[in-house]
Each structure stands twice: as C-alpha cells, then as structure tokens.
Chain A
Amino acid sequence: EAGVVQSPRYKIIEKKQPVAFWCNPISGHNTLYWYRQNLGQGPELLIRYENEEAVDDSQLPKDRFSAERLKGVDSTLKIQPAELGDSAVYLCASSLVPVSGGTQYFGPGTRLLVL
C-alpha cells in the first residue's frame, strides 16, 4: 500500500514569492493534516481536514497561508507571500479515523527555504 505522497521534496524561493505544496494521503484515509516543523523542533499542526471540510485551522496564519482539499482526497497548502520565517519542513499526514488515538501516517515532507 502506498504511503502519503508529497511534492515537491525541496523548494527554494525568494521572500515575497508564492509557493504551493501538494499532498496525496493514503487511500481511504478521510482525515488529512498539515504540520510545520521548524529546525530542531517537533511538528506543529497547521490545519486538519475531515473529507473536504477544514475542521481545525486555528493554527493556520490566515493572512498568508491557505489550504484546500477538493474532492476530499488531495490537498494543497499555499503560502503567499512567503517570508523568511516560513523556512521549515511542511509535513502532510493522514489517518483512517478522525478521533483521538487514530494513528497518523506522515509523508516525507517538503523542505522549504526562503531567501
């Protein structure tokens, strides 16, 4: 069974440029998560989807970040415009069930460097 797929794996952009990350979750997993991991730290949740609905986006900086999950499968996370402090690894995860305790499976992440 294929795992969580993310692309691109690496992205280097200049500040004020837009950038987008793509995620394809494990087949059949209705819940999808985007995390940000700063260097030397654990991941922090940005947004959680149950099917097409964003049910927890309280940690998403909405002035510059946006996300969508059309048709309840693939998801895209966008930053516009990017700032130097956005340099981090962006991880996508999925789980079969949205309730607490449902194991989340992570993709390889997209490493973003903003110059």
Chain B
Amino acid sequence: AQKVTQAQTEISVVEKEDVTLDCVYETRDTTYYLFWYKQPPSGELVFLIRRNSFDEQNEISGRYSWNFQKSTSSFNFTITASQVVDSAVYFCALSEVKAAGNKLTFGGGTRVLVKP
C-alpha cells in the first residue's frame, strides 16, 4: 500500500531564512508520481509541482526547489529566502500508476510559519 510521511508537523522561521520540508514515501510500484501542494489559510490546495518516478532531476522554480532521491524514497522541498506569504500548510502526495485511477495519497502536511 502506498504511504506518504511528512515527519515535520510545524516549522517556524524568520523571514529570509531557508526552510526545507521533508517527504518520505512508500510504494511497491516502479512507476509513480509525486506532487507538492500548498494550502494557504484560505483553504484551497494549490498545485506546485509534479514529478514522475523516472525523472530524478532536481528542479528549481524561483525560490522553490525540489530534491527527488529514489534511493531514499524522498522528495524534499526547499523554500529559499522565505517570505511571510509562504506561510501555509504544505502537502506531499503520491499517485501510483497501478492503483485504480488517479488516487492521490497525501501526507499529513507540514505547517510553515514565516515571521517578519
């Protein structure tokens, strides 16, 4: 069965500090997809990134970067030079190709609080 673990429940930083969110997943599939979503206080889940299991290249998008390591089953997310607007709950999610349809399994989320 697929499982996603986000061990950090809450991280508090001061503005301009970097913050790294950990995500560890379990799956028996060799083909799968990993996602990160942001949930601000408004409640809407905002899509940030999708990565398939065959693409281990790290990705950078502005202040966001992602480190995918299949050897450790991890897909970590770093926010560089954090801003107050980054305060939100961040979810890592997994979708297995062999599972029925496009079911997403979410981790428990990490709340990030960026203080001015």
Interface residues of A (CB under 8 A from B): 3, 31, 33, 40-45, 48, 50, 55-56, 89, 91, 93, 95, 97-109, 111
Contact A100 B35 (CB under 8 A): no
Q: A43-B106, A100-B33, A100-B95 given as contacts; is B43 within 8 A of A89 (CB)?
A: yes
Q: Does B50 contact A (CB under 8 A)?
A: yes
Q: A41-B109, A56-B100, A95-B102 given as contacts; is B43 within 8 A of A103 (CB)?
A: no
Question: What would be 23 A-B contacts, judged by CB atoms less than 8 Å apart?
Answer: A40-B108, A42-B91, A43-B45, A48-B101, A48-B103, A55-B101, A56-B100, A56-B103, A95-B102, A98-B101, A99-B97, A100-B31, A100-B32, A100-B97, A100-B102, A101-B33, A101-B95, A103-B35, A103-B47, A108-B44, A109-B43, A109-B44, A111-B43
A107's partner among B44, B95, B106, B109 (CB-CB below 8 A) is B44
Q: Does B13 contact A (CB under 8 A)?
A: no
Contact A102 B45 (CB under 8 A): no
Number of interface residues of B (CB under 8 A): 30
Q: A42-B106, A42-B109 given as contacts; is B47 within 8 A of A100 (CB)?
A: no
A41's partner among B31, B42, B108 (CB-CB below 8 A) is B108
Q: Which residue of A lies closest to B52 (CB)?
A: A101
Q: A42-B91, A100-B102, A103-B35 given as contacts; is B97 within 8 A of A91 (CB)?
A: no
Q: Does B81 contact A (CB under 8 A)?
A: no
A56's partner among B33, B45, B101, B108 (CB-CB below 8 A) is B101
Q: Which residues of A contact B42 (CB under 8 A)?
A: 108
Contact B50 A103 (CB under 8 A): yes
A111 and B43 alpha carbons, distance in the complex (Å): 9
A72 and B49 alpha carbons, distance in the complex (Å): 28
